[in-house]
Amino acid sequence: MADISLQTYTLVITGAPYSSQAPQTALDFARAAVTAGHQIDRVFLYGDGIHMASALICPPSDEPHWPRLWSEFLAEHQIPAVACVASALRRGLIDSGEQARYELSAHNIRTPFEIAGLGEWVEAGTCSKVIYFHSGA
């Protein structure tokens, strides 16, 4: 018999690393949830939260590298992570598909993040709870 107290979460992050606590708090929550046996269905980046998916972020060596820490966590637990396409394009986050589509010179998305539309988030209907982590502004 399944334990009904276990939850499946979708995390929505709208705050950028280094200008809000949203990514850090979300990662702390995700680690605790997985440790407790819960599942993370997916992580959806929206607004300034998409900066977490940039392969070009390079913090000083004495600071946590939140995008890399998130990438490692997502890969380890095989959790899908999506950056909203509209938010990404507005902020210069590009994958190889958008690079080709707009004939741009490069792409800069960090693995395992993908760029997709809001439909990806809507499809997260299998989760029991959606939790938002925002900048608080």
- Which active-site residues does the annotation give? 84
Amino acid identity for residue 106 in this structure: A
| Alpha carbon distance 32, 28 (integer Å) | 6
Find the DSSP H helices in 78-129: 85-90, 96-101, 118-122
What token pair was written down for 91?
Answer: 């902020």
Q: Which residues contact 122 (CB under 8 A, 6 or more apart)?
A: none
